[in-house]
Amino acid sequence: MPHVQEPKLIAGNANQPLAQAIARRMSMHRGKKMGLVDARVERFNDGEIFVEVYENVRGEDMYIIQPTSNPANDNLMELLIMCDALRRSSAARITAVIPYFGYARQDRRTKARTPISAKLVANMLVSAGVERVLTMDLHAAQIQGFFDIPVDNLYASPIFALDIANQFRDRMGDLMIVSPDVGGVARARELAKRLNAPLSIVDKRREKPGEIAEMTVIGDVKDKVALIVDDMCDTAGTLCKAAEVLMENGAKEVHSYISHGVMSGPAVERVTNSVMKSLVITDTIAPTKAILDAPNIRVVPTAPIFAQAILNIWNGTSVSSLFEQDTLGPIYDGMYAAE
């Protein structure tokens, strides 16, 4: 009898809770138990990474769930070595599910003698045997063109739209979507369009790297509930400063919706002590205990959309359909009602 390929999940150490949540979600969608492939991803005493897959994967459709978040180099090497192990074990197809794509900020040469590290990472993944990439909210959309293989870039904005419609259902007319810089206008505009809300921009000018000299609000935020939208929050300095400027310009409240909570250094403390009433991030990067304990930080799950995207890739149906709230709403049933 011909072998029927099943989607099989395997995960590194970067975000095990998300991988397990995706497996549970796929079990629910398919009506049959799906677990993570039994494997070990360990380190020798000198830090070298070793991978051993305990299950047969010959001829299988494999999905490696591994964000390349902090420590970025270790998690990237885990991903590459897992790819090599699966390729040498005759897996039929290898898809890298990278909820957070590290090195995405290095997508172009900003000055002489600097690298384009995002392209280098793309080359490494393809060389290791990856045949498709599934990710969320790439820092720069053109990174998809760095690959000569299919790249499915999911968006957090449809999930955020469901959350906003649920959290601010009685104040939808007061909302103002805010981009914290000019580069993020397209992302903010897309969410504003989903919510039928106006758009504002915080324009910042830097005297030197890491130091913000001046911030100017473009648009009238007076008496508005300002929602800052961005793809990542690293040290939260710019985010917290933007929130202060919005309040100084008359906003009633400031909330933030950020796709990837990098949250390095003093970020959690800054957000906790800021004028922001809430910061909403996704679980593409495993949240730390400090994040989970913070009173004004909330985490929304991405497992439902990733699980459905993996199933759609496996059975050859549309992934872009998940960007529509009529499709996404039922997937998040129980958390948010479809609007």
Quote the strand ranges of the chain, DSSP E: 7-11, 39-43, 49-53, 61-65, 93-98, 132-136, 151-154, 175-179, 199-208, 211-218, 225-233, 253-261, 278-282, 297-300
* β partners of residue 297: 279
Token digits of residue 193: 């369009």
225, burial (CB in 10 Å: exposed 0-12, middle 13-18, buried 19+): buried
b/e per residue 192-207 (b: at least 16 CB within 10 A)? bebbebebbbbebeee
- Which residues are the active-site residues? 204
The total of other beta-carbon atoms located within 10 Å of residue 114's CB is 10
